[in-house]
Chain A
Amino acid sequence: MNPLDFLLEPLSYDFMVRALATSVTAAIVCAVLSCWLVLVGWSLMGDAVSHAVLPGVVLAYVVGAPFAVGAVIFGFLAVALIGIVRNTSRIKEDAAIGIVFTTLFALGIVLISITPSQTDLNHIIFGNLLGVSWADLAQVLILGAITLTILLVKRRDFTLYAFDATHAHAIGLNPKVLGAALLGLLALTAVVALQAVGVVLVVALLIIPGATAYLLTDRFSRMLVIAPAMSALAAVTGLYLSYYLDTASGGMIVLVEGCIFALVYLFSPTQGVIGKRLGARKRQRMLAAQ
């Protein structure tokens, strides 16, 4: 098979076109958000919120409301509950996060089991990239565009919040509002990515791209380019691999993300475990040659 056919053949199926558009959109939106999550130290929070939206999405389905509304409500509910448990008991934050998000996730699973039309909702958990409808794709594109626009327009404020919240206070900004906005966007992003990889694997898209970019550059502005580019590449590669190897598409995308991270972890010129040493040796040789 010539390479062009290799790339074009899957696209002759409508469902593959929709899958590609959905996964690339989700990958890009998640990747941009992940740049802040890894720097604020909210990776675990990303995990929690992306799981905790499940009952919200199911209830939204039951009452016929947009998924995003239920997701945002339960996203904030999770964060509030985590804060309450942490602040009013001797339980530490990681345990509070673990308790709250698993309980809410379990509530979602129970709700799915008692809601008619089960097949549809089970896809939320593991994703159903190949079964995305045009309506699903439209929702992903609209939510993705909204989330991405807010993130990019307010990117400097979010970075200030992540770097120095006290300075934000001192110049009259409200870091609490910025933090809440970031959490709201996290819940929206989780909805975007549900279709692509499902609740369980969303967190991979929310952490790996930002972490990978962080190992490659010392400039936040460049992270915002590297992370989505890397994640979009992983989404396309993963989807094609799943097509030809006949494997789970969501799982394949996340596997590719993980492999790219592993390569960067090893070979990043400035931060890589091996790359750093190679760079140092090269510099020594150049110095010796002089």
Chain B
Amino acid sequence: MSGERAGAARDGGGAASSVPLGSAPAMIVPAIDVRNVTVHYGDVLALDNVSLSLAPGRIYGLIGMNGSGKSTLFKTITGMLRPDRGTVALAGQQPALARKAGAVGYVPQSEDVDWAFPLSVRDVVMMGRYGHMGISRRPKAADKAAVAAALARVELTDLADRQIGQLSGGQKKRAFVARGIAQGATILLLDEPFAGVDKRSEGTITTLLRELAAEGATVLVSTHDLNALPKLADEAILLMRTVLLQSTPAEVLKPENLARAFGLDVTAGDAA
């Protein structure tokens, strides 16, 4: 990862001035730099001139209604979608290069995963290493060690040989976070990680994400759980096809701000 950082520093500088809150030093290159991105699905406008600048080492909560473009934003960052207009830079690099280097880790929404798929927890975590492997993706000692370390990190070592669907809701999320850790991802995207997860597991995952952020990872979490936002995130992003507000969770959670994204009669807590 250090190589990417070095590469990132070269063409950095100017972009960093847009880092919000002034908390990050001015020379730090944003980990995710989205500029004027517009995405259409056919005639439907999904993202309208979105600009975001996310600093390394911080957790960002992404909130917005269903259809506000959260998934579209994730797809644009993971490379599933090409924006019609605008640019994305990841870890200061062309997005394709950053992805190839393994910078982007992704934790899918529960409903997007086939939990009956015949893979063990270890198999899933090993998929994080594929970008570092040869053509047939045969794991080497270093890959196995990285997977073992990632499993230990998320405390799933004992369950590593279970079929992936035989984990609890929280354990499933941790398995996918472990995949990102084994990958060496510096950018971690989590799509609704707390849906169907009990409060205790939510706490465990939050602690894990805070540790990863403290080590320099940039974490972007889309969530409906507004109550948990202040504990989880350093900053919150309010999305409604465009970025309405990027600020502290406390500021974003003010009723008058939420009303802009969710409609007037919605109070914090059950905005989903």
A positions within 8 Å CB-CB of B: 39, 153-157, 159-160, 162-167, 169-173, 214, 217-220, 222-223
Contact = CB atoms under 8 A, between A and B. Distances in A.
A160 B100 contact: no
Given A153-B136, A154-B136, A163 B117 contact: yes
Nearest to A270: B163
A166 B127 CA distance: 12
B116 to A, nearest CB: 9
B99 A170 contact: yes
B79 A170 contact: yes
B114 A163 contact: yes
A217 B189 CA distance: 31
Nearest to B104: A170
Contacts, number: 79
Nearest to A154: B136
Given A218-B163, A219-B120, A170 B105 contact: yes
A171 B131 contact: yes
B157 interface: no
Given A167-B179, A170-B79, A171-B100, A153 B135 contact: yes
Nearest to B78: A170
B21 interface: no
10 contacts: A153-B136, A160-B127, A163-B117, A164-B108, A166-B78, A169-B99, A170-B78, A171-B131, A172-B79, A172-B99
Contacts of A159: 119
Given A157-B137, A164-B113, A166-B112, A172 B96 contact: yes
A220 B99 contact: no
Contacts of A217: 118
Given A166-B108, A171-B131, A217-B118, A156 B80 contact: no
B68 interface: no
B194 interface: no
Contacts of A166: 75, 78, 80, 106, 108, 112
Contact of B114 (A39, A156, A157, A171): A39
Contacts of B100: 171-172
A223 B118 contact: yes
A156 B136 contact: yes
A167 B79 contact: no
Contacts of B225: none
B118 A171 contact: no
A146 to B, nearest CB: 16
A280 B170 CA distance: 27
B147 to A, nearest CB: 14
B183 interface: yes
Nearest to A156: B137
Nearest to A165: B80
Contacts of A220: 117-119, 123
Contacts of A169: 78-80, 99
A205 to B, nearest CB: 20
Contacts of A222: 118
Contacts of B130: 156-157, 160, 171, 173
- Most B CB contacts (10 A, CB to CB) among A170, A217, A220 go to A170
Interface string B226-265: 0000000000000000000000000000000000000000
Given A165-B80, A167-B179, A171-B104, 7 more contacts: A157-B130, A164-B127, A166-B112, A170-B78, A171-B99, A172-B99, A219-B120
Interface string B68-103: 000000010011100000000000000010011110
A153 B133 CA distance: 13
A282 to B, nearest CB: 20
B110 to A, nearest CB: 13
A69 to B, nearest CB: 26
A220 B80 CA distance: 26
A279 B127 CA distance: 33
Contacts of A153: 135-136
Nearest to B131: A171
Contact of B102 (A155, A160, A163, A171): A171
A170 B106 contact: yes
A162 B135 CA distance: 18
A218 B118 contact: yes
Give me the 3 closest cross-chain CB pairs, A-B, nearest first: A172-B100, A156-B137, A172-B99
Interface string B122-157: 011001101100011100000000000000000000
B180 to A, nearest CB: 9
A17 B214 CA distance: 67
Contacts of A164: 108, 113, 127
A171 B184 CA distance: 11
Contacts of B117: 39, 162-163, 220
Contact of A167 (B106, B118, B123): B106
A172 B113 contact: no
Contacts of B136: 153-156
Nearest to B100: A172
Contacts of B131: 171-173
A214 B116 CA distance: 10
